[in-house]
Amino acid sequence: MSRKQEEQTVDAVLIGAGIMSATLGVFLKQLQPDWTIEVLERLDEVAAESSAAWNNAGTGHSALCELNYTPEKEDGTVDCTKAYKINEQFETSKQFWAYLVENGLIKSDFIQSVPHMSFVRGEKDAAFLKKRVATLTQSPLFEGMQYSDDHDTLRSWFPLMMEHRGPEEKVAATKMDIGTDVNFGALTWSMIRYLFRQPGVGIHVAHEVKDVERSEDGQYWEIKVRNMTTDQSRTIRSRFVFIGAGGGALHLLEKSGIPEAKGYGGFPVSGQWLRCINPDIIERHHAKVYGKAAVGAPPMSVPHLDSRMINGKKELLFGPFAGFSTKFLKNGSYMDLPTSIKLNNIVPMIQVGLHNMQLTKYLIQQVRLSPEEKLEALQEFYPDAKLDDWELAIAGQRVQVIKKDKNGDGILEFGTELVHAADGSIAALLGASPGASTSVSVMLDLLKACFAEEMQTPAWQSKLQQMIPAYGQHLATDGGLLDKTRAWTSSVLQLKPSIAEPV
């Protein structure tokens, strides 16, 4: 039986030591240096779940290559609304990271320049891709995007993918040189190290949160936590709680009992990669090349041939292949899904199950794929691929959000959802893609929702402007400001500037 320790009172508790908690922790410590913060992580190291390099795509998601952010509408036009928003959010992330690097708070080795490309086959998809470029480039955010269906040009962009493709095969691609590869695990570690050095901040691994409930006087949240190494239990009283525990966030949100959490559920999706083990092949591909998702596929399953830098070593991945597990975390329990079902969310969860049979069918097909069938999917990108050059690697676990729409019906959301109490004293982050890439914007939204009064003070406004020079302005419509901002972040983060001219 666990032993109890005395209570501790702090300003903020951050549950989960991934990219979101790290980002929020740095924000809070920069904005309010005198606040006390406790970071609690269930595993024995930080950034070991969704933020870990092997558990996510590592793409600086900015809609430069992800076709699912630019759907084609029924009238044939391309909707770029989400692409513009995500690209601008990634520019916000780069500003925040550049500020931290420029001030010596973190290192810049977590981010690398790598071209972002979209790749399609067939006349119909080529026409869509060309139309996508024409629409996207109406904003300065996507100025310089190149389109080509010329085999020689494409061979210069991704030679590995063009080997033994006959001239009769219709293929097309777009290219943006300002794309990035981000090791979110390394970035998280760097920010956590900064926080660890700050007075009033405690970082605790192997600490499992067992309960989150209001104090009797309603002034605090009481977080019951167990030290998994010593089996000691203690209670932390905090004015504010952030639940950034990835797939584990839903269970803790339900424990809080806030009315805003009612009706939320989760649908878990697992993932696998094909990882190249042939160094010669790895060296011949330097791009993140995204294709079109299969019908019914979740966004995290958009196929891509992906050049990565992980722990200083160049890697090449293909996938991900989706799967199903009742776990909400890679290191979770098979009881995660069953125990998340409550009276207040069982109806929307059943409705989602009934209305998304296509997704269920897709996941079943993915689970049943043989190694040879996975190779066939890879060969659509890299025709000469051989099974001996690749091995299977397990990716992370994602939990897609299930919630009620305005009519009270259950719907499946593929984005990121911020849920918070009306008084702003507790917030949780649910969902997945684009996730880490937009972590800075997501945490700014949290600050606005949960620290509304502080956000209006001159001190916080001035500091935010210092950390994010374009804060409150719109880069999507201000080309001059965008150029200035990108020039600064590219210089500080040692990224390749945009110099390409459209074809």
Look at residue 360 in the predicted model and tell me its pLDDT: 63
Q: What is the DSSP string of 149-199?
A: --HHHHHHH-HHHHTT--TTS-EEEEEETT-EEE-HHHHHHHHHHHHHTST
**DSSP β-bridge partners for residue 40:** 15, 204
Look at residue 395 in the predicted model and tell me its pLDDT: 81
What length is written for the chain?
A: 503
**What residues have CB less than 8 Å from 363, skipping those under 6 apart?**
269, 322, 323, 324
Residue 159 has phi, psi (to 5 degrees) of -55, -35
> Rounded to two decimals, what is the model's pTM?
0.90
Structure tokens at 3: 């032993």
CA–CA distance from 185 to each of 83, 192, 251 (Å)?
25, 10, 24
Residue-wise burial string across 55-78, b where 16 or more C-beta atoms lie within 10 A, e elsewhere: bbbbbbbbbbbbbbbbeeeeeeeb
Q: Whole-angstrom Cα distance, residue 406 to residue 419? A: 16
pLDDT single digits (tens) 30-47: 999 999 999 999 999 998
**DSSP β-bridge partners for residue 321:** 272
* Residue where the block lists tokens 């299977």: 392
- For the chain, the C-alpha Rg in angstroms (whole number) is 23
Look at residue 134 in the predicted model and tell me its pLDDT: 97
| Residue-by-residue pLDDT tens, the chain, 503 positions | 344 555 789 999 999 999 999 999 999 999 999 999 999 999 999 988 888 888 888 888 899 999 989 999 999 999 999 999 999 999 999 999 999 999 999 999 999 999 999 999 999 999 999 999 999 999 999 999 999 999 999 999 999 999 989 999 999 999 999 999 999 999 999 999 999 999 999 999 999 999 999 999 989 999 999 999 999 999 999 999 999 988 788 889 999 999 998 888 777 777 889 999 999 999 999 999 999 876 555 555 688 999 999 988 999 999 888 777 777 677 777 777 777 777 676 766 666 665 665 666 666 676 677 889 889 999 999 999 999 999 998 887 777 777 777 776 676 666 678 999 999 999 999 876 667 899 999 999 999 999 999 999 999 999 999 999 999 999 998 999 999 999 999 999 999 865 443 33
Residue 48 has phi, psi (to 5 degrees) of -100, -5
Q: Whole-angstrom Cα distance, residue 413 to residue 432? A: 9
Look at residue 294 in the predicted model and tell me its pLDDT: 66
